[in-house]
Structure 1
Amino acid sequence: MEAIERHAVSLDWITLLLVLVLGLLVIAKYAFNQRFAHFIMLFATDKYLLLKGKDPNLFHPFNVLLFAVNVVSVGLFIFIFYITFTEGYPDRPLVVFLRIITAYTTFVLLKFSLEKILADVISVNNKMNYYLFYKLSYRNFTALVLLPLSIFFLYSWEPTKLVLYITLGLILTLNLITLLSVFTKNRQYISSNWFYFILYLCALEIGPYYILYKLVTKFQGQ
C-alpha cells in the first residue's frame, strides 16, 4: 500500500480563540442571564426583539460581547474559505486571520456609521435604531450558529468548495429573510417614505456589498 503524505497543521491559535469565545459566551450568559435566554430562542420567538427592541441600546454590553463572538465566528468561516480556495496553507495563518477580522470589523462599523448618519439626515433615528438592533440581533445569532460548523470544518472534516458555497448560500438566504421580515413589519411606514427607503436600499444595503464583491474579485484576478 502506497503511503499518503499528510501535512500536519497547527491549530493551537484557533483553539485559543475558541477558548476566548467560550469565555465571552459564559460572561454573556451569567451577566445577562434573562437576556441571553431570550436571545438563544430568537429564531423560535420574537420575544427578545419585542422586549429589548422597544428602546434598543445598540452599545449594550451584551450586544458588544455577542458582536465580538460574531467577529471571530465570521472571521473563522472566511478563513476557511481562504484556505480552501487558495493553493497551499498560508505561512502565517494568524496574520491572515487578523487581516480578515480587521477588514470585516471595519466594513461592519463603517456601514453602521453611514446608516446612523443617514438616519440623522432624514430624521428617522428611532426607526433606524430598531432596524439596526433587529439586524444586529439576527446576525449575531446566525454567527453563533455558524461557529460550531466552522469548528467541525477545521477539526473534523475538510469541506469541499461546493459545501462552502451551499453554506454561504444558506447564510445569505437567512440574511435576506431577516431583511424581508423587518421590511414587512414596517411596510406601512416604508410605503409613506418610499423615496428614502429606495435611497437607503441602494446606498447602504446593495451598494456596499457590490463594492466589496468587485474589490474581492479584482484582488483574486491579480
Structure 2
Amino acid sequence: MNESFLIPRAIQTTDWAIFVFIVSFVLIALARSLFETRFAEFSRLAISDKYIKVYRDNSNLMSWFNIMLFVLHLISLAFFIQLALSGFGFAHKGDWLLFIRIFGLLGVFILSKYLIEKIIAASFNAEEFVEQFNLQKVSYRTYIGLLLLPIDIILYFSSGMSKTIYFALIAIILLINALTYAVSLRNYQNALLGKLFYFILYLCALEIAPYYFMYYWFTKS
C-alpha cells in the first residue's frame, strides 16, 4: 500500500523538470526559427568568431535572440548547480523549489552585476566599451549554457553519478569560462590599455569580489 502510494509521488517530482526542459527546447526552436542566420553563426562560435564580429553592435545585447538564450543559460546553469549540490549530498535534484530559488538568485545576481557595471561605466565614460565587452561575454556564456543543457538532462535522469564526474564538469566549465574571458581580453586589449584604471576597478569589484562572497556565503552557510 505504501509503495503504491510513493511511486506516483516519485513520478510527479520529475514533471517540473520535464516541463522546464521542454521550455528550454522551445526557446532553442524559437531562436533558431526567428533568427535562422544568426543562430547558425552562433552555433559555430566554438570554431569561429564570425558571430562576435558580425553582431558586435551594442543594440544586440538586449535583442530577443540574446534574451531567449540568456533565459536558457539561466535554466542550464541553475539545473547544473542543483545537480552538483545533489551529487555532493547537499540537496535533492527533484526539489523544484530549490531550482526556483537558484534560478531567481542567478537572475538577480547577473542582472544586478550588469546594472552596477553600467553605473561604473557611465562614471568613467566607458559605456560603449563595456557594452561590447559584455556582449562578447554574454555570447560565450550563453553558448556554454546551450552545451550544458544536454549534460543536465543526462545527469538529471541518471542515478549514482560519482562526485568525480561533478568535479570534472565543474573544472571544465571553469576552464572554458577562463578561456573565453581571456579571448575577450585579447580582443579588447587595445581598448583596455586606454582604460586601465577602470578595468582594474571593474575586475576587482565585479569579476572577483562577487564570486568570492558567493563562495564565502556557500561555505559558511
TM-score, length basis structure 2: 0.90
Indicate the SS of the match to 2:205: helix
Residue 86 of structure 2 is aligned with which of 83, 87, 91? 83
Partner SS state of residue 29, structure 2: helix
- Contact 2:52-2:136 within 8 A present in 1 as well: yes
Q: Please give the root-mean-square deviation of Cα atoms over the aligned residues, in Å.
A: 1.7
Q: Which amino acid aligns with 2:133?
A: Y
The one-letter code sitting in structure 2 at the alignment partner of 1:153 is L
Show the counterpart of 1:25: 28
| Cα displacement (A) at 1:157 | 4.6
Q: Counterparts in 2 of 1:63-102, with a 5 A limit? A: 63-86=66-89, 89=92, 93-102=95-104
Matched residue, 2:172: 170
Please name the residue that 1:213 is paired with. Answer: 215
Structure 2: runs of 5+ lacking an equivalent:
1-6
**Which residue is equivalent to 1:141?**
143
> What are the within-5 Å matches in structure 2 for residues 1-222 of structure 1?
10-86=13-89, 89=92, 93-219=95-221
Query: Structure 2 CA distance, aligned partners of 1:69 and 1:41?
Result: 18
Partner AA of 2:177 in structure 1:
N
Q: Give the percent of matched residue pairs that are identical in Structure 1 and Structure 2.
A: 32
Cα deviations by residue, 1:31-62 (Å, 9 ceiling, x for unpaired): 11111111111111111111110344211000
Do 1:56 and 1:130's aligned partners in 2 also have CA atoms closer than 8 Å? no
Give the gaps of 5 or more residues in structure 1.
Answer: 1-6
Cα separation, 2, equivalents of 1:89 and 1:179: 32
What stretches of structure 1 move > 6 A for 4+ residues in a row?
A: none
Structure number having the greater helix percentage: 2
CA distance in 2 between partners of 1:22 and 1:189 (Å): 38
Q: Write the deviation string for residues 17-37 of structure 1: whole angstroms up to 9, x where unpaired.
A: 111111111111111111111
